[in-house]
A and B are shown apart, each in its own frame.
Chain A
Amino acid sequence: MSALEESKSEPRRRIQFAFTDEQEQFRAAIRRFLADKSPTTEVRRLMATAEGYDPKVWRQMSEELALPGVHIPEQYGGAGFGMVELCIVTEEMGRALLCAPYFSTAVLAGNAIMNAGTEEQKAKLLPDIASGARLATLAITEPNGNWDPSSIETVSRFRIDGAKSYVVDGHIADLLIVAARVPSSSGRDGLGLFAVEAKDAGVERRQLESMDPTRKLARIDFRGAHATLLGELDDGGKRIQRTMDQAAIALANEMMGGAQALLDSAVKYSKMRVQFGREIGSFQAIKHKLADMLLEVELAKSAAYYAAQAAAINDPEWPALASLAKASASESYLHTAIETIQIHGGIGFTWDNDTHLWFKRAKSSEIFLGLPSYHRELLMQRWGV
């Protein structure tokens, strides 16, 4: 039985509008850890490296906090929590702008294996992901930049051929989960998720120069590399879509962490910066801008939290909510970033000021997994309009 059917049999629970005390404590522990390990000096140091992360910090967050497996069942070496806890982790990482292969390994590859793998494959692949021993990623998008699985051209049965691009952490992952189709299939038919070892001789990887240096992207060419189908062929691309919807929700939460960090910095600066003999935060022009930013951030947060809760209990509406949350978070994060630069004035667009680090994450996250307009259209379709 695949994860898809398993989760459907879970008893239905109600959507919660407040985090539990345990979840709040979990969040506080991660926030403390990241405040210590990911100050902007570290972000700046790591973003300039080719690997883009600190293996020591990765080990600590795996061993001390068990973060890569937070959502992986205990039987596969994980902590056994779900979407809500995974999204608390991504939100805090987005806030700290942590440079680490978490989104790729835990969110993308972890969920893909859980959604598609057989019992045997899950038992084989997930423990190393949960423990942080291996890095992994998911390769869906191709050089055409399309996020719809129907557009996949890479073909595979036991050997895989084609090109993937915009692969997060594709340059450092040990394990590649690749969305491909069996030869001579088209549209949503004949799709599958395949496991490929990155060191295979038929894999050629090239890091891309990306606008957001805190999230590395790679292009991967496959020329007859060995591939193992995870589970069965994914007719209709349901497992791929499910994985992408989960990723959209985790990303929406990550974005809201970043948006909050920006808003906090804009508020702090406007209380400190003096012009015309008064703090700029006492001018209504700035006050009203900040009030609007707060409104936008809180509304998008509500959507991101609601989508995570809905996915956690497998509410039938959750795929629609994934698109809703992604569209909303994208607009809100980018707008917050633009206004934070504006409030900082001249210094706001300098390299030395930290705002651009979040701005670039906001900009690339707006595009990653599909633009807001793409997700709004998807939302309408999923609502049956």
Chain B
Amino acid sequence: MSTPTEAEVRTEVREWIAANWNPDMSLLEWRTKLADSGWGAPQWPKEWYGRGLPHSLVRVVQEELAAVGAVGPAASGVRMLAAATLLEHGTDAQKKKFLRRILTGEDTWCQFFSEPGSGSDLAGATTRADLKGDFWIVNGQKVWTTSAHHADHGLLLARTDWDVPKHEGMSYFVIDVKQQGVDVQPLKQMNGHASFNQVFFTDAKVPKENLVGKVGEGWKVAMTTLAHERRGADGLAPPSKKGRKEGRIHAEERAENDKANEPYRWYPQRAGRVDLILERAKETGADKDPHVRQEIAKLMIMAKSAEWTARRARAAQQQGRPQGPEGSLGKLAASHVARGCARVHTMMTGTEAMLTGKESPREGIIAEILVSVPAVSIAGGTDEIQRNIIAERVLELPKEPRFDTGPFRNVRRN
């Protein structure tokens, strides 16, 4: 069957929305309709809650949903990464069991990849899964798990073979988080927030049928998850709020979003709040100090240049040109900007920068910047790993000699 035209898709989805949308429905009721009709994830295959539309036509569906202010499918957090991974590597039984409840938002997901002993070196994971009868028995510890305390299911990378090289001995599972043997503890950071968890597995059970991909192929499956993470979720954009008819469903959606976004409240501060710099310069009188003016200018030049570099990368992509080096630099540039911000905010704030809390400048925001910025050059890939990636992939420099080849059992580790 041929691909429908944009006009056909538009007419069809518009008619379906007219017949089905009602803001006074419950969130679950509406999302069940979205999932069953395939309009919730139109780019997914027809047999799995989608309509098999090309990515280029997804926008049409988004526009039509947005036009009436309709709520989209549940798309926040790790659930869309889980969906993308299962669509590519999952069994039919897994897809049937999990995909629909991902779209309806009934299930929440998290990702068990990083460990205390393997941060940058993700493939050095030592959480183990051993097959006993019909179950894999999991023991070990994961960390940096956002939203694990709300999650129903986790994407788990665990070692199943210790006698092969590190990348070949891992397998990928879906684990039920709400079971005895999985202990979720909040991980409090230096800025006082606890956006992540550490999770302890003690003889936790995973039924055999929850293995994703083959035994020993966990690294390959994990790469799919990480590729989607880098690309950003495939979910629908949130609908525009203007002119929509409000109903019960929107209140439910807001509550859901608030819960999903709670861990990210301090993220703007972690990035340094370059948006406050010029305002603060006037507010504090620091704009009169020639030394501080120089530092502000240096910082703003870097921040602006980073923004233009990202625009160059996007423009090249839009023109169908191969990506130049400018596309790999964003994360490293963001670290420099954040650190520069912390420095300049301190200079401008002066002695008051020793204070924290409501009575401190900008009701604690400045203080929060100062104690949040150190995370930015670590989370999501350290600056050092970014530099290795840039040097090896962009500049094509030779790789470091490795000391972690051969059976993983013999590899030195923490």
Contact = CB atoms under 8 A, between A and B. Distances in A.
B394 interface: yes
Q: Which of B384, B387, B391, B398 has the most CB of A within 10 A?
A: B391
Contacts of B321: 18
Contacts of A298: 309, 325-326, 329
Nearest to B384: A288
Contacts, number: 123
B386 A291 contact: yes
Contact of B392 (A287, A300, A306): A287
A291 B388 CA distance: 8
B87 interface: no
A377 B387 contact: no
A59 interface: no
A267 B319 CA distance: 28
Contacts of B386: 291
B400 A284 contact: yes
A292 interface: yes
A207 interface: no
Interface stretch (A49-57, A75-83, A275-283, A345-353): A275-283
A16 B296 contact: no
Nearest to A288: B387
A193 interface: no
Nearest to A263: B395
A306 B308 contact: yes
A380 B395 contact: no
B40 to A, nearest CB: 34
Interface stretch (B93-101, B148-156, B174-182, B299-307): B299-307
Interface in A242-299: 267, 270-271, 278-279, 281-284, 286-288, 290-292, 294-295, 298-299
Which range contains the number of A residues in contact with the other chain?
35 or more
Contacts of B391: 281, 287-288, 290-291
A328 interface: yes
A72 interface: no
Contact of B398 (A282, A377, A380): A282
Contacts of B300: 379, 383
Contact of A294 (B294, B308, B311, B395): B395
Contacts of A286: 397
A327 B315 contact: no
B135 to A, nearest CB: 43
Contacts of A295: 329, 332-333, 336, 390
Nearest to B277: A385
Contacts of A300: 305
Given A288-B391, A373-B294, A376-B298, A303 B400 contact: no
Contacts of A281: 391, 397-398
A294 B395 CA distance: 9
A302 interface: yes
A270 B318 CA distance: 33
A299 B309 contact: yes
Contacts of B394: 294
Nearest to A267: B395
B301 A327 contact: yes
B337 to A, nearest CB: 10
B281 interface: yes
A328 B301 contact: yes
A305 interface: yes
B315 A18 contact: yes
A376 B300 CA distance: 10
Given A279-B398, A306-B308, A291 B333 contact: no
Contact of B315 (A17, A267, A283): A17
B278 to A, nearest CB: 6
Contacts of A324: 301, 304
Contact of B399 (A16, A282, A294, A306): A282
A377 B287 CA distance: 11
Given A283-B400, A291-B387, 17 more contacts: A16-B315, A267-B395, A286-B397, A290-B391, A291-B391, A292-B387, A295-B329, A295-B336, A299-B309, A302-B311, A303-B308, A305-B308, A377-B297, A379-B300, A379-B301, A380-B296, A385-B293
11 contacts: A17-B314, A282-B400, A284-B384, A290-B395, A294-B390, A295-B332, A302-B312, A305-B308, A327-B297, A385-B281, A385-B282
State the 8 A-B residue pairs at the shortest beta-carbon distance, nearest first. A17-B315, A376-B297, A287-B391, A18-B315, A291-B387, A299-B305, A302-B308, A281-B397
